Amino acid sequence: MFKGAKSNIGNRVGNITIIIGQIAREFLPKQLETMKVVKHKRYILYSGAVRAGKTLLAAHVAIRTCLENPKCTGFIGSLTTPQLTDVVFKVFQQELEYYQDVLDKHDIPIKLARMKYSKGDMKAIFYNGSEIIFKSCDDETKIRGLTLDFAILDEPIEIDETIFKQLMNRISGGHIDNPFILLTTNPGSQSHWIYKYFFRETTEDHYTVETTTYDNVLLPQYKKYIRDLEQNLDEDWILRFLNGRWGAYSGQIYKNFNLERHTGNYADYKNVKYWVCGVDWGHRNPSCILVIGIDKNKNVFVVREWYHSGNTTPLVAEKIAEYHKEFGFKKVYIDASQPDLIQQTLDLHVPAEKAERNVSARIGKIKGLIKNNKLHIDVNCVNLIREMQAYRYEKDKLNKNPTEKPIEQDDHSPDALGYGLTDYRSFKFGGVIGFVPRNVWDF
């Protein structure tokens, strides 16, 4: 199997400590702490702020556990399939390459793992018989019947407690010395089930590692990135997403929205660099189209609003096309869950594409604009102004996780605004949380 290998590293690929020791990857102290503690504790929380390397850590813990424990079975889950495929599965494959590169460097003809990806079935199958199952965690019935040696939940702040309880019963395999569950997540409310298990009702089986964005000195342009975040996030978001603070976050979402500062007469405002459009579609619920202008100083002007219920997608597409003739949109961003509306809009020769999916990212971006007085809404956009004041987070509910989850009410025009700002950047470098959400997952 190893004929022709140039180094003793290849005498047995089972000499995993050498492979792990030679990967070209630098880790933060708290990531290394977590990698060690999963070998001794059953339930581990890595509570990380923005860019704390949470998903990267999850990938490396899973890979190392599989390499060190032949024939073990692991599980990695996140709330939705898109999050799993677009982020978690992708990061896992990227990080696996670091380990594969060690073998390739020493001319060892072994492929550490092959990736299996088909509808509803994502796996990493290792050369030594270990495997990792990837599944969305929107329904606990999906994981019933599994026999696991370890499990990892990515952003369980969004996942129901029933998933965690089900996994507690699933990690009963006999292929590793210490079966464990690792949670890698942003912090949330102190009423959340995660806080209950890891801060209020802890046992010797529980271990918590807390991080902040300030800890991640491996970030490119570290000081500038931190400064940009501090300047563009409001106080609540700084506490949660920079300081990694668990706390009570509830009530009005855009509490700093001010009628005097953020509204005015902009219907005829034309001094913009380019126009975009944000669209939220509903049938029984209202559909909302917002016409948005961006000027050279990155100010955002919402100059027109169309807000109506009971409309078909062809009618909404025609209205978008009508606005496009008037304003000449650089891009129209439409709710990603409405592919038919996107296609119908494209058929009318309007440059349309799916909008940002992540609701927290959209909210963070709008909060930054409000904080810096860069959001300007025409007084005739009455529904947007009303919903900016009415849009609220859910109240805490026992054994649920509504933490920082907006109520699906009075959200149609704020959603349309967030969609319209999908590719908006307030500064050139990197991104505030929500500005370049993909970058939140890696260094």
d(CA 226, CA 229): 5
Sign of CA pseudo-dihedral 93, 94, 95, 101: positive
d(CA 143, CA 140): 6
Of residues 432 and 359, more confidently modeled: 359
pLDDT at 443: 24
pLDDT at 398: 39
Candidate ranges 8-17, 19-28, 170-179; pick with highest mean pLDDT: 170-179
pLDDT at 12: 53
CB-based contact 224:32 (threshold 8 Å): no
pLDDT at 212: 79
pLDDT at 433: 37
Q: How confident is the model at residue 439 (pLDDT cuts 50, 70, 90)?
A: very low
For residue 326, is pLDDT > 90? yes
Q: What is the pLDDT of residues 5-18, one digit of tens each?
A: 444 554 555 566 66
For residue 250, is pLDDT > 50? no
DSSP strand pairing (113-118 vs 180-185): unpaired
Domains of the chain from N-terminus onward: 8-215 (3.40.50.300), 259-441 (3.30.420.280)
For residue 310, is pLDDT > 70? yes
- Over residues 319-331, mean pLDDT: 97
pLDDT at 34: 96
187-191, 245-249, 293-297, 330-334: which has the minimum mean pLDDT? 245-249
Query: Which tokens is 196 given?
Result: 């209950």
d(CA 14, CA 2): 12
Share of the chain above pLDDT 90, in %: 50
Q: What is the pLDDT of residues 87-100, one digit of tens each?
A: 899 999 999 999 99
